[in-house]
Amino acid sequence: MSQNEQTENIQHCFAEFDGNKCAVWKDLRLKHQSENAKAHCYLPSTKVVPVIFLPGIMGSNLRSKKDKKSIWRIRT
């Protein structure tokens, strides 16, 4: 079996969420067993990871706009 024949027998399907918040693969098609087909079904992430940014942590010290004095500094 050549490389082109292998890629033709692999389906890439991405899930969509229906009204009940269930994942549904609408693009998934059945193929005959003799084709030796594979399906790669992808499910999108359902969780959100919050990212908290703290200025000054990455090396920049906070300063006052008025008198340019240091407000917050990392103590090592």
Tell me how far CA of residue 40 lies from CA of 2, 32, 75, in angstroms. Answer: 20, 17, 50
Q: What is the pLDDT of residue 73?
A: 67
Backbone angles phi, psi at 73, to 5 degrees: -135, 145
Look over the chain and give the mean of its residue pLDDT values, rounded to a whole number: 77
Q: How many domains does the chain have?
A: 1
Mean pLDDT of 61-66: 79
Q: What is the pLDDT of residue 7?
A: 55
Residue 6 has pLDDT above 60, yes or no: no
Residue 56 has pLDDT above 70, yes or no: no
Print the domain residue range for 51: 3-72
Asked if 35 contacts 11 with a C-beta cutoff of 8 angstroms, the reply is: no
pTM above 0.75, yes or no: no
Residue of 20, 12, 19 lying closest to 43 (CA atoms): 12
Q: Which tokens in the block code for residue 67?
A: 């008198």
Q: What is the pLDDT of residue 3?
A: 44
Q: How many residues does the chain have?
A: 76
